[in-house]
Amino acid sequence: MPATLPILGQAPAVEEDPLDLMDEIERLKKEKDATILAHFYVDGDIQDVADFTGDSLKLARDATKVTTSTIVFSGVHFMAETAKMLSPTKRVLLPDMQAGCSLADSCQPEELAKFQQKLRAEGRDFETVAYINTSAGVKSLVDWIVTSGNAREIIDRVPADKEILFVPDQHLGRYLSEVSGRQMILWPGSCMVHEVFSITDMLRAKRNNPGSRIIAHPECPVNILEHADFIGGTEAMRKHVASFVEPQTFLVATEANMIHPLQKIAPQHSYVPIPGLMESSGETCACNRCPHMARNTLQKV
């Protein structure tokens, strides 16, 4: 196959060496008095150059410990927004302002306020619990804010005589309702990545890897969770795989970049990402990657 010719008058693209970019980032961190926070779902190279990595709960806590004047948050919009709320004196930068979140987008403040008003008009006595994957506008309307790491603990604090309106993730809400025994009013939102895992390919991978264990994020639909050997958020997944000394094979039902921190904490194991399924055609795809997290690159950082 002939090489692709550059367009006339346009310089050919030059691929930058990731190691050179990482060295430049280290230099700029000192020069600009900046600290980098990176979510487990961004590219592994970014995680490696970050000062803090973790899930939403850990990174929210880490943001309050930052001593530099600037935070570069390699994640999505609501995460950077949360960091700014917790550290209002800091300058918080997001590498790509288009890095949104399908889950956060599924629950708009105006829609939530209208629904809450409707429930109150019906005489429903409830408290609203919001997953952290929401905008500041939604957070201002709720009684509790949770992450996948502390949701069960917070749910248990809601008075027993109150109904619970859980927003925006219906799958996480359904899972929490099951493990806590609390009935919930569920907002019909979902994460575009966790929504599309292929149950057929997951079970095929299980058959092809005898003795393997399925670890799944609670944002997955019930047909995935009912086959999981372990259900938990990303920090819980790290602790879980690290608890096995002997080599295991783990089938991972969450964003594929999560395999990077799993390999770092427990390199003795093998990790297999579960593929997604394209709704339009029914074909297997590599859609276990979040397109919003993928907007974060070393160049943009």
- Closest by Cα among 247, 257, 235 to 56: 235
Per-residue pLDDT tens digits for 197-255: 888 889 988 999 999 999 999 999 999 999 999 999 999 999 999 999 999 999 999 99
Per-residue HEC secondary structure of 50-96 comes to CCEEECHHHHHHHHCCCCCCEEEEECCHHHHHHHHHHCCCCEEECCC
pLDDT of res. 11: 45
- Closest by Cα among 195, 200, 189, 192 to 216: 195
pLDDT of res. 144: 98
Q: How far apart are CA 254 and CA 239, in angstroms?
A: 15
pLDDT of res. 246: 97
Q: How far apart are CA 299 and CA 18, in angstroms?
A: 9
Q: How many CB atoms lie within 10 A of CB 100?
A: 16
- State the span(s) of the chain assigned CATH 3.40.50.10800: 18-100, 104-186, 194-290
User: For domain 18-100, which CATH number applies: 3.40.50.9100, 1.10.1530.10, 3.40.630.10, 3.40.50.10800?
Assistant: 3.40.50.10800
pLDDT of res. 195: 87
Residue with tokens 């990482």: 22
Say whether 126 sits in a helix, a strand or coil: strand
Fold of 104-186: Rossmann fold (3.40.50)
Q: How far is CA 83 from the centre of its chain?
A: 15
Q: Max alpha carbon distance in the chain (Å)?
A: 71
Tokens found for residue 270: 């093998």
* DSSP character string of 235-287: HHHHHHHHT--S--EEEEES-GGGHHHHHHH-TTSEEEEPPEE-TTT--EEST
The pLDDT of residue 4 is above 50: no
pLDDT of res. 13: 45
Specify the CATH number of the domain 194-290. 3.40.50.10800
Task: Average the pLDDT over 52-65 and give the result.
Answer: 94
Per-residue pLDDT tens digits for 76-120: 999 999 999 999 999 999 999 999 999 999 999 999 999 999 999
Band (149; pLDDT cuts 50, 70, 90): confident
The pLDDT of residue 151 is above 90: yes
Q: Which of 191-195, 242-246, 268-272 has the lowest mean pLDDT?
A: 191-195
Average pLDDT, rounded, for the chain:
90
pLDDT of res. 279: 45
Q: How far apart are CA 275 and CA 203, in angstroms?
A: 11
